[in-house]
Chains A and B, each alone.
Chain A
Amino acid sequence: MPHLIANDQELHHQLLGDATSDATPCVFAHGLLVDNLSSWYFGAAPIVASSRLAVCYDLRGHGLSSHAAEGYDVGTGARDLIALLDSLGLQQVDLAGQSWGALICLRVALEHPERVRRLVLCEAPLPPSSLSEMASVISSDPQELLDMLPESLREAFSGGKRRAIKAARRLQRLLTESTLVADLKAEGDIEDERLAEISQETLLLYGDESSCRPVADRLLALLPKASLKTLPGGHYLAAERASDVGALIKEFLDG
């Protein structure tokens, strides 16, 4: 399993596509808690990887990355991502993030604009409280959180024994044995003036039934070079509408 130490954290990652391609590599960041790199890896990433290197990685405490007791804030997530890029020797990349992963990508684009060519923000909840799921996270009620998942994703937490137990154990651990909930609560908004500084061409992807759909209009108005595509679906867009999301990202990055 490819793991590397980045920002003192053991991060699992997977490469798809041609590592020698001249095209700018694209790095994919997933969402929190119930997500891991597989939603990109078995979704949009292979489509994008037909024309460039695609890198999927597990955020700290998620998937096959090591558990972390702290550092679930966006700032630390951005430092993890920069450390990952440094370890892989990637100078400039395209970034695509889902939900919390999108907030991490946005932060990297703001703080290290020279490292980011283009930006894809899929269901970025800004401020985080714009997302109705966030209330369930903050109440630390795993069941409430699972009830909000679309059916296709809920299967991982139901059905039998081993898989459901393992997934529930992981969720419980993140909610009760790490600073994740406190980190999320403390995460604030980004000021309009700061958002207006985003110099990269940005693709905004939102689900028409998502609770944070209004965020798209704000970002579209503030980001100087943003375009918006709305897809049928809810918040878990990268997994729910994988082929459409993949095709849109590929078109945006290749163009």
Chain B
Amino acid sequence: MTTLTTVAALIQEVIGEDWDLDDEITLESSFADDLELESIEFVALAEKMQASFGEGVDFVGWLSGKELDEIIALKVGDVVEFIDACRT
């Protein structure tokens, strides 16, 4: 599985039964406008990513350097890029 497919699966898990998007999750999908993730869902996603990618990917630490509006403006590609950078 690529990083993107893993991240996309985790996003779908977080959104759960409310998942009603026909479009595929791509690197260009934005968390706020396209996926409409709530900030509390972002907390849940951060935790799932940490569990999935391990301690080496300090996702919460990375997010904590950002303001809430920056976090909201993130795209899936930004997260994938961060994870890949941690693993190389």
Contact = CB atoms under 8 A, between A and B. Distances in A.
Given A162-B18, A166-B18, A152 B40 contact: no
A242 B72 CA distance: 15
Interface in A25-70: 36-39, 41-43, 46-47, 49, 58, 63-64
Interface string A164-197: 1011000000000000000000000000000000
Contacts of A42: 39, 42-43, 63-64, 66, 68, 71
A255 interface: no
A101 to B, nearest CB: 15
A16 B60 contact: yes
Nearest to B64: A46
A36 B40 contact: yes
Sort chain B's interface into a size bin.
20 to 34
Contact of A1 (B44, B61, B64): B44
Interface string A221-254: 0000000000000000001001100000000000
Contacts of A155: 32, 72
Contacts of A160: 33, 36
Contact of B40 (A49, A63, A159, A162): A63
B55 interface: no
Contacts of B32: 155, 159
Interface of A: 1, 14, 16, 36-39, 41-43, 46-47, 49, 58, 63-64, 152, 155-156, 159-164, 166-167, 239, 242-243
